[in-house]
Amino acid sequence: MTDAIKFTKPAFRVLDGTVEAPLTPAALRGVASFFADSAQPHTPGRVCHGLSCHLARGCDSVDGDARQPVYCLGYCDQSPAWLQADDRVIVGADRTVPVSTPIRSLGPEAVVTARIRRGSYADLGKARAAEVYATLAAWLRSRQSGDSSTAARSANAAALLDTVIRSGAQGRGGAGFLTGEKWRATANAADPNKIVIANGDEGDPGSYIDRLLLENDPHAVLEGLALCALAVGASRGIVYVRSEYPQALRCMQQAVHDATAAGILGPESAEFPLHFDVTVVSGHGSYVCGEETALLNAIEGRRGEVRIRPPYPSVAGLHGHPTVVNNIETLVNIPWIAARGAEAYRQLGTTQSPGTKAICLNHGFARPGVVEVPYGTSLRRVIEEEGGGSGDGRPLLAVVLGGPMGSVLQPGQWDVPIDYTTMRTSGIELGHGGIVALPADTDVPAVVQHWLTFMMRESCGRCVPCRAGSREALRLSESPGRSTDRAALDRLLQMISLGSLCAFGRNIPSPVRQLLALAG
């Protein structure tokens, strides 16, 4: 129980100056058993079982003792991937050190990848030389002009919030919810103890842009988070980083330390008159904690189960306080919007989805890597021109877009613009924007079982349809030749989709059905 006790008593539990009652042994065990990092036996390393690595047959080549399975290490462009006991990552059939991920862009402007295409800006000096934090300083500058600091802050906050609302920026975590509307709900909440959180628990196998940003542009993440804090009136921030990204966790911890020492974060300084304390929190191995309410429970030291909504986090979030939860890519958009204005941002992309989206291509493409595209770009163009089609030169059977809660798309479905509204009208989910190539010789029934195993293992267990339904669905999928089992599986997937509490259970059945159709 020692590890469990350490795990469930993190320093960030006390946010309001009050000490909570000690958790009971039963509660400690319940929390520790929920998360993979504390529930599974200690192993010398971890092997990625994400879809990209599954297709690369990385799981089949593990020798020696069984390794702890994880569902994405964020190196989908170089699959398969392993995380060593010393947190070093090795990739590829030859198990080599990862190389730099190719990053390119289409259109007139790159919003989130302009810096990281040129290398790492984790060093504070290098980041500031590239004008990171300059936008934050500019929005705080009028507070030094002799005006009442309270009045100036209120005016700046209102103007910044209005800018983000008018930009039409949407969350990049998959739901596509309007960022400004989420901020407005928190800004208008009566409770003055507001909190902002950067959700670095991107876990969709196939997507890795958040890892790249956390490792190579952490100060841009912090600037976006600080601008959010200014707009909504928060003085506390948290960056939550999944444990499967140990290098990203170290980079964010160092960035927060350096920015605080420089007077950018923490107590007000002459250059940055904003009191904003930031804490970095590590996840403990749970895909579903990418869902914002499960993430809040995890930060509070509870099981990472989803919450019933309403109330929404923007009104009653962490410890009941108004909380904004934004994904990493979303936050890196904010300094660009705040610097150049809402109208400039709306010149990129489409009316329904302004701006750009980072699309991640896995190792199954001839040209894997990240492509930042304006919304409205054809999915086919990204797959065939930017990705170069299949890495083996044969036509692709299909692609998986948006991870396990996304969509399985055959070539005849690729002529669709990358746009939340248009795609949803066509029954397509963009998700985080990861694309995994399914080669011509894909064992589709094996992929179905792989996904249902993922669903069973990663379900938070809060609701019966997802918890029990995923286990039964896996059992039924193991008898693909029996028509009675196939019909029962179809009915069960429908029940899971209709009865589950959150998007995890509601959305996974759709791509499973699409895979079953692909299998014939």
Neighbours of 134 (CB within 10 A): 12
| Whether 274 contacts 226, CB under 8 Å | yes
Higher pLDDT, 46 or 203: 46
| pTM of the model as a whole | 0.92
The whole-angstrom separation of Cα 192 and Cα 206 is: 39
What residues make up the domain containing 511? 444-519
| Residue at which a domain ends, from 377, 405, 438 | 438
Same domain flag for 8 and 156: no
String of DSSP letters for 417-461? BS-HHHHHHTT---TT-EEEEE-TT--HHHHHHHHHHHHHHH--S
The whole-angstrom separation of Cα 20 and Cα 2 is: 19
| Residue at which a domain ends, from 317, 346, 375 | 346
Percent of the chain with pLDDT over 90: 72
CA distances from 314 to 163, 179, 292 (A): 19, 11, 10
How confident is the model over 431-456, as a mean pLDDT?
A: 93
Q: What is the pLDDT of residue 13?
A: 40
Residue 108 lies inside a defined structural domain of this protein: no
String of DSSP letters for 273-299? ---BEEEEEE--S-GGGGSHHHHHHHH
Same domain flag for 76 and 220: no
Same domain flag for 85 and 210: no
In this predicted model, what pLDDT tens digit does every residue of 209-233 receive, in sequence order? 999 999 999 999 999 999 999 999 9
Query: Is pLDDT above 50 for 191?
Result: yes
> What's the mean pLDDT when you consider all of the chain?
89
Strands 103-105 and 195-200: unpaired
User: Residue 146's pLDDT band (boundaries 50, 70, 90)?
Assistant: very low
Same domain flag for 376 and 511: no
| Residue at which a domain ends, from 406, 438, 470 | 438
Same domain flag for 431 and 449: no
Same domain flag for 141 and 196: yes
Query: Is pLDDT above 50 for 336?
Result: yes
Query: Is pLDDT above 50 for 497?
Result: yes
Q: Lowest-confidence range among 5-14, 53-62, 249-258? A: 5-14
Residue 254 lies inside a defined structural domain of this protein: yes
Q: Lowest-confidence range among 11-20, 69-78, 186-195? A: 11-20
Same domain flag for 208 and 330: yes
In this predicted model, what pLDDT tens digit does every residue of 361-420 receive, in sequence order? 999 999 999 999 999 999 999 999 999 999 999 999 999 999 888 999 999 999 999 999
Percent of the chain with pLDDT over 70: 90
How confident is the model over 305-317, as a mean pLDDT?
A: 93
Same domain flag for 449 and 434: no
How confident is the model over 419-448, as a mean pLDDT?
A: 93
Helical ranges in 86-142 per DSSP H: 124-129, 134-140
Task: Retrieve residue 443's tokens.
Answer: 């064992």
Q: Lowest-confidence range among 2-16, 101-115, 186-200? A: 2-16
Query: Is pLDDT above 60 for 293?
Result: yes
Residue 101 lies inside a defined structural domain of this protein: no
Same domain flag for 151 and 25: no
How confident is the model over 189-208, as a mean pLDDT?
A: 93
How confident is the model over 483-512, as a mean pLDDT?
A: 88
The whole-angstrom separation of Cα 18 and Cα 387 is: 53
In this predicted model, what pLDDT tens digit does every residue of 247-262 receive, in sequence order? 999 999 999 999 999 9
Q: What is the pLDDT of residue 410?
A: 97
Residue 96 lies inside a defined structural domain of this protein: no
Q: What is the pLDDT of residue 8?
A: 36
| Whether 387 contacts 435, CB under 8 Å | yes
| Whether 370 contacts 432, CB under 8 Å | no
String of DSSP letters for 138-179? HHHGGGGTTS-HHHHHHHHHHHHHHHHHHHT-B-SSSS--BH
Terminal Cα distance for the chain, rounded: 49
CATH code for the domain in which residue 400 is found: 3.10.20.600
Q: What is the pLDDT of residue 17?
A: 41
User: Residue 9's pLDDT band (boundaries 50, 70, 90)?
Assistant: very low
Same domain flag for 378 and 334: no
Same domain flag for 393 and 342: no
